[in-house]
Structure 1
Amino acid sequence: MAKKNSDNVQSKVDNDHSESSNQFTDESDYSLLNQLDSMVSEGRNPDTMDIDLMDSKQILTQINNEDRKVPLAIEKCIEPISEAVEAVVEAFKVGGRLVYIGAGTSGRLGILDAVECPPTFSIPSEQVVGLIAGGNKAILKAVEGAEDDPQMGIDDLKHIQFCDKDVLVGIAASGRTPYVIGSLDYAKSIGAKTVSLSCNPGSEIDKHADIAICPVVGPEVLTGSTRMKSGTAQKLVLNMITTASMIRSGKSYENLMVDVSASNKKLHMRAIRIVMQATQVDAYTAEQALKKTNFMVKLSILHILTGVEPHLGRKILQQNDGFLRRSVAALNT
């Protein structure tokens, strides 16, 4: 009886192996294998071939040495990043949104950047949106196969009523994710501006976007672990896009975040400190101004610097598209 069960188990293993082998002989599998072979981000790093023999300090030193290459790679992409920022600024002017879309690490990074914008710049949560293949559950746990479905990307955009006023940034370190490519094609088909962010030059998604951003950071410390240098590069670029777009939309005064939302105790104190830094007043004066303006930092600074009352200050800010420096100049001339 035991022998019969053993034979059945072995037979199942052989059948599973046979089915797996047959699946792999699909031409698309070989095509993907060839694509991976040609990707810079999937290559083997010649400087880390012996990383498994290193002690902890040596491994960390090697990782740090590789990470230093990231900002230098981004420096070569300032022009297309600038083009992306201009597109986002124009979209914001007409009520459009910035939408990030990606799978896995790329999708999570887009969501991270999106969710940090409302408390930092006091914008509606709908103004910068992050979408990930597989939906919100994929933020914490991978959803197998989701990134391979281009229609899913289209469906996710339709679900948020993506329109021609919006800007879509498709994020994929590999530059070949079908979910992202499908979404970029749909966005272009309805007349929206599209941006690709990958780490492989000449990648597929570059061909599907109006603006291609590609910081080439080279092979990872661990082959194919693109959550490392590639992920770092993507996060830096996304931070640059939103931060620069918000500055160009009047969300700063000098280098201060004057549209910060004081939604917790730390941000409450930060608001007081920002007013103090912008106006050179003491903490008490700054807090009194904030209370008078319902804790609107920008309006409080305008009130202190010009003496304008809040109800008039709001109108002046609106007339100057929310730019505090222009508003101060307008009242002081």
Structure 2
Amino acid sequence: MEFALESEAILLKGEPQLPLYVGLFHASYRVESARGEGMVLFGPGAEEGRKTVVTAEDVADLMAATALVPVTAEALRRALVRSVASARYWQEPDGHDVIAGSAPVRAQLVRVANHVAASGHVAGWMSPVDLPRQWRVEWEQNDAPGLWTLSGEPADGVLATWRKAVEVQEARAAVERPADPTAAWGGEWWSMPPARLLHSTGEFEDGSPVGLWCVEDGFGWEKAETRAVAVPGSARIFEVTGASDWAQLCRSYPLEVTAQKRHDWYRTTGRVGRWVMPDFSQMARDHDGVHLSTAAYLSTAGEAIEVDNESASVVAGWNPDESYWFTAEVRLHGDPAAWACTDANSEDAAWSRR
């Protein structure tokens, strides 16, 4: 969807109106207004906007009429960045998500997906971790210092502390929180390893780290430093290439999180039942790291993934092409590189070397 919108913006630059963008806005507004959410329209045209009826079928027709620009690395990155930035796995899908997930619009999205896939620019999205090109991002404007700063202690210690905290939180949530998943409760909705472990991403075609650009639930950082990450070729890496790999992780190293996740994960998936996630402290005994490919991120994030007849899980809080490392043999090396972001809090945020 984001690539279709990007195509329209490029092709109709300077035009007074973008039909797909406007149609999607009105269709999404009606979805969110029906559940008492969404923005409040005011000013000239507000009354007409509130009365405008655009259905998912109308959006599908607008998509069918939208020409697609040739795929470039820059256009594709902008679409990916906007998709990641819009993730919100602690509440209901927004109007755009609902419309994009409707049957008529999904049928039109196949044309866009085929166009993107045929370009060759997304081959790396389905590849294993790119060992020679791994980068760690350190944010200079850090609104959550305890969460994003590397701990300096051995990974097994970080993982043991994390596992204990999850167990304590689960026991407390089982006592303090209602079993009704629709109740107005929330908590830690993510399911990645502890952020204080060394983690890294690969890079885009221009050499800039993916982790600079693609951040779920970011803080609008404007400055960062990156350092290269050295990974030995012998590292045992579990590759998450799709939902089946994530489900396998959850079956092999199950960690019960029903009481603490049920409310957030119900809101984003609509599923009622038992929830688990991988116990990375146990996984670290057999693996040196875990990598979530960009393709796996796009196909799994925010979805209810069936683990067995009783359990499911959600990939949440991860970023595309992200790896977490469980061994001291993976280390930082080289000098840091400084980066700055322009328009950090807009859809046109862009990173460049300082």
Normalised to the residue count of structure 2, the TM-score between the two structures is: 0.19
More helix by share: 1
Q: Which has the higher contact order (CA 8 A, sep 6+)?
A: 2
**Which structure carries more strand by proportion?**
2
